[in-house]
Amino acid sequence: MPKPATGSVRWVNGVAIARIRVTREERASFPMPTCTTDDEAQERSKLLADVAKRLRGTTASEEQARDALKLVAAAAPRSLRNALTMVDEIAGREVASVSVPGVQTFRQLGEEWTSGDLAKRFPDQIRLKRSAHTDVSRLTTYVYPLIGSVAIDRLTLDHCEEVMRRLPPERATATRRNVGQLITRLLTLAVYPLRLIERSPVPKGFLPGVSKPKALAYLYPDEDRRLLACAAVPLHYRLLWGFLAREGMREGEALALTWSAVDLTRGAIRLDQNKTDDPRAWPLDVGVLCALRRYKETHRPGAQPGDHVCTDAAGRPLALPGPFKLPALLRRHLKAIGLHEERPELFATTAERRRIRVHDLRGTFVTVALANGKSESWISDRTGHKSSAMIAKYKRNARTFAELDLGTLARLDESIPELLIDHGLATGEIEATESAVTSTAYVGAGNGIRTHDVLLGKQVLYH
């Protein structure tokens, strides 16, 4: 088997120079000014030797071969593929099929991005992904099987369009657009700051258009209470569903929440890391505060500050199982209380509406808050919405909710039987205790005042 051509490398005044056999009789030197390490220089020298060997099998003259090798030797890494394409034109045949060292595949680039490695390498240009789990699921399901092994500098518009064509037809326009955005974003990063390619092969207009608005779903207070009281639904999921509907957090934020971020003494919660990179904090709903206290005392007595709040019965963090499984779990739990028979529209996807999702518990929070007179500022402090337009989407539902005089959601601690029974308190006893405290300990305390109660030995928010 013939020995592969590699050329030889020497350094002169800080510049790597490759010595390459141009013809069978002659060797020539080619400066490689863009190579900064010996490894890079050796890889480029091997590439030059391979190109020279292929050129010797064409009708290219010695002068044309020298010009082509100079072009490849001097090219920056992101321009290397373009240089090889120009060699094709000189040689009159395909030479650019040679392997370009150091060029990542689409999957390698995607995994570097979703793992956070790119954010560490380029902190000024790339932000750490908070929703990486969803991106990984979409890339693994729809993109990597088709173009994951293609080198970034070999990826074409045809490759990208093939991914979009292969998407299941039943997928919503929003999902199709999300997949297209992932491809576009990775190719943009390949241009800068990675400098792997000169320009993205994806043109303007590649992304599917934004779909028309669909009807927003929410739960009624009596449905919420039935869900939280349903023994067929595991307690840890009922706590999660009730928490989301009363605090308005994103599901990913709630699943990542640790006990260190929840002040069970003062009744405050902080969210330093979130999707919008906008740290926020707010006072917990009093029913949520009491429910978390009781849950920690009775079901997680050994929990440490760094442990997750949302865990399974064994204390393991509730893993986010993918963009399509958690909503399916919520729908299954709602079917357990017979809601699919009473409100079938929550379980059907049509041109006008989509099936209820976990995100709609956040929508329930906004709808209930608006219907009960809460300001946009009060809502955004909890949800993290960056604009009034996002909150305004829920105003129509909120007006309907108010006109039906549906009130508000029941207290979380009173809605989950295990958290009530474990403390040996009936609803009437809780009300009697709070009534006694209000009338004797702090007569005249104004609405919304949180103060230390000497009888209960804790902070109480008076309504």
Q: Which of 41, 66, 91 corresponds to the end of one domain?
A: 91
- Domain match, 111 and 142 both: yes
> Tell me, what CATH number does 231's domain have?
1.10.443.10
Same domain, 251 and 382: yes
Q: Can you name the residues that pair with 452 across neighbouring β-strands?
A: 459
94-153 confidence digits (pLDDT tens): 554 454 555 688 999 999 999 999 999 899 999 887 668 789 989 999 999 999 988 898
Domain assignment present for residue 206? The answer is no
Q: What is the pLDDT of residue 197?
A: 87
Residues 320 and 360 in one domain: yes
Nearest 5°: the CA angle 411, 433, 246 is 10
Residue 308 and residue 226 share a domain: yes
Within-domain flag for 1 = no
pLDDT for 3: 55
Ranges assigned E (strand) in 67-134: none
Long-range contacts of 403-407 (CB under 8 A, 24+ apart): 406/220, 406/221, 406/371, 407/221, 407/372
> What does DSSP assign to residue 24?
S
In a domain, 196, yes or no: no
- DSSP H helices, 116-229, are 117-121, 132-138, 144-147, 157-165, 173-191, 221-229
Residues of the chain predicted below pLDDT 50: 1-2, 96-97, 99, 323, 422-458, 460, 462-463
Number of structural domains the chain divides into: 4
Cα 351 to Cα 367: distance, rounded to the nearest angstrom? 23
User: Are residues 254 and 354 both part of a single domain?
Assistant: yes
Handedness of CA 322, 274, 255, 245 (dihedral sign): negative
Same domain, 277 and 175: no
- Kindly state whether residues 352 and 400 are assigned to the same domain: yes
| Tens-place pLDDT, residues 1-11 | 445 566 789 99
Domain that holds residue 170: 106-191
Kindly state whether residue 2 falls inside one of the protein's structural domains: no
User: Sign (positive/negative) of CA torsion 385, 389, 394, 395?
Assistant: positive
350 lies in the same domain as 405: yes
- 292 occurs within a structural domain: yes
Q: Are residues 131 and 177 in the same domain?
A: yes
User: Residue 427: what pLDDT?
Assistant: 44
Instruction: Enumerate the β-bridge partners of residue 12.
Output: 15
Asked if residue 420 is part of any domain, the answer here is no
Q: Are residues 233 and 331 in the same domain?
A: yes
Return all residues near 302 (Cβ < 8 A) that are at least 6 apart. Answer: none
Q: Which backbone phi and psi does 21 adopt, to 5 degrees? A: -80, 110
Q: Which secondary-structure segment (H or E) carries 109? A: helix 106-115
What is the structure's pLDDT at 89? Answer: 72
pLDDT tens, residue by residue, 332-342 = 999 999 999 99
* 418 domain residue, yes or no: no
Q: Report the predicted TM-score, pTM, of the whole model to 2 decimal places.
A: 0.62
pLDDT at site 96: 46
